[in-house]
Amino acid sequence: MKSSLKELYLRWFSGKASEQEQAELFNRAADEGPTDELNDAMYEAWNALFNDTDAIQSGRSSIAERVVKLFPAEAPVKRINRRWWAIAAAAAVIALVGTGIFVMQTRQPAKQQVVNNRLPDKEPAQDGARLQLADGSVITLDSMSDGLITHEGNTAVKLSGGKLIYDAGASTELKYNTMTTPAGRKFRLTLPDGTQVWLNAASSLRYPTAFAGDERLVEIKGEAYFEVSRDAAKPFRVKTDGQLIEVLGTRFNVNAYEDDHAVSTTLLSGSVSVKSAGNAPVLLQPRLQAVSDRNSGQTEVATADTLDVMAWKEGVFRFHNTPLILIMQQLQRWYDVRVEGDIPNMHFTGVISRNSPLTKVLHFLQFTSEQQNVRFVLTLQPPGSREKDRITIIK
């Protein structure tokens, strides 16, 4: 009779699984892959057996010894066979709950404990934003249904399928709107000239509700990707704290978070001119990136890894030998958490979906790290708390 995955993990965690049961567990893990059912079974079995700190420490040591014995002396390089996937599935248990990722929940302001039921988690960002109109009033777009939202002069402002659209009529009056995404939110909008903008988390975009005059000027804080409608008579300009970018019609990404020491512009197609304070403009060709230091104004141009740059828009975290400090910045903005502790000089390479709960991302970092000597502690605040959930790094 086929045993449930939870039963198999219970017996394997407790050291009571027979060779037949162990083989069944690993074979099913290899056949089914890293599914939600497999992960749920691991969580439930772990929490059923280890419900306090001492038990977790003891269980971790015992299981780690058994996992290490499963690994071959040398990992396969040219191919990953079926058994290797089974071993990786077993090792994922250790990476998730054994080698340092503890999920904590604050039930009272001064107390933390390891929960022993279903592990709490921090969900990823959702689409959403706040729109400040020309008169200063603010609309929370998360709560709005599709359709006409308001009129700004002769411009109709509509919401359609989670995207804000400006349908501009004839106008010479300049009125400005500001779109803001808080930490853990992103949004997409169509400007009055048809330009498409994707706004990343913790960012803001200020723009006119109709482009009058001889230019199209917008201001960005944070990160945004632009697909600019061509209009040779009206250059499109993007202003940041550190750069002025001028285009005719092109696709490019701007990263201008205020807590970063530099502003970067990455060109995907067309051409753009990037100017920093006190320096001559730099003309970019596709796949080049201009990075301007906020303090010196100095701009350096280099070939960009556009897959890394555009990963946020495509819905993934993509790391290519990325320092942990930069990864933590991304997690702060995406999951609306703060990071505590000294961040070690570690680098990571890999890809994981931005739809993943935070524990899975931390698991991913732990499992892909070459140095298994760093721990991540996720502390979730009680409902209604004004404090942010936090990741504590312990080395």
Most distant pair of Cα atoms in the chain: their distance: 80
How much is the average pLDDT of 126-148? 85
Give the whole-angstrom CA distance, residue 164 versus residue 306: 26
How much is the average pLDDT of 42-59? 59
- Answer for the pair 331, 360: CB distance below 8 angstroms, yes or no: no
329-385, pLDDT tens digit by residue? 999 999 999 999 899 888 888 888 888 889 888 877 876 665 557 788 888 888 788
How much is the average pLDDT of 304-313? 92
Structure tokens belonging to residue 247: 């285009």
Give the whole-angstrom CA distance, residue 67 versus residue 60: 10
CA-based nearest residue to 255, from 242, 237, 272: 242
Least confident stretch, 60-64, 187-191, 223-227: 60-64
CA distance from start to end of the chain: 45
Tell me, what's the pLDDT at 227? 96
- High-pLDDT (> 70) share of the chain, %: 74
pLDDT surpasses 60 at 74: no
CA-based nearest residue to 99, from 51, 52, 67: 67
How much is the average pLDDT of 177-200? 93
Give the whole-angstrom CA distance, residue 333 versus residue 310: 16
Tell me, what's the pLDDT at 339? 94
Confidence of residue 162 (pLDDT cuts 50, 70, 90): confident
Tell me, what's the pLDDT at 89? 52
pLDDT surpasses 80 at 276: yes
Q: Give Cα separations from 63 to 11, 39, 50, 58, 132 (angstroms).
A: 11, 17, 12, 9, 54
Least confident stretch, 15-19, 180-184, 193-197: 15-19
Tell me, what's the pLDDT at 246? 94
How much is the average pLDDT of 23-28? 76
CB atoms within 10 A of CB 211: 22
Q: Tell me what the pLDDT averaged over the chain comes to.
A: 78
How much is the average pLDDT of 258-268? 94
DSSP string, 58-95: HHHHHHHHHHHHHS-SS--SS---HHHHHHHHHHHHII
Tell me, what's the pLDDT at 306? 92
Give the whole-angstrom CA distance, residue 263 versus residue 293: 7
CA-based nearest residue to 165, from 128, 205, 192: 192
Tell me, what's the pLDDT at 199? 96
State which amino acid sits at residue 56: I
218-252, pLDDT tens digit by residue? 999 999 999 999 988 899 999 998 899 999 779 99
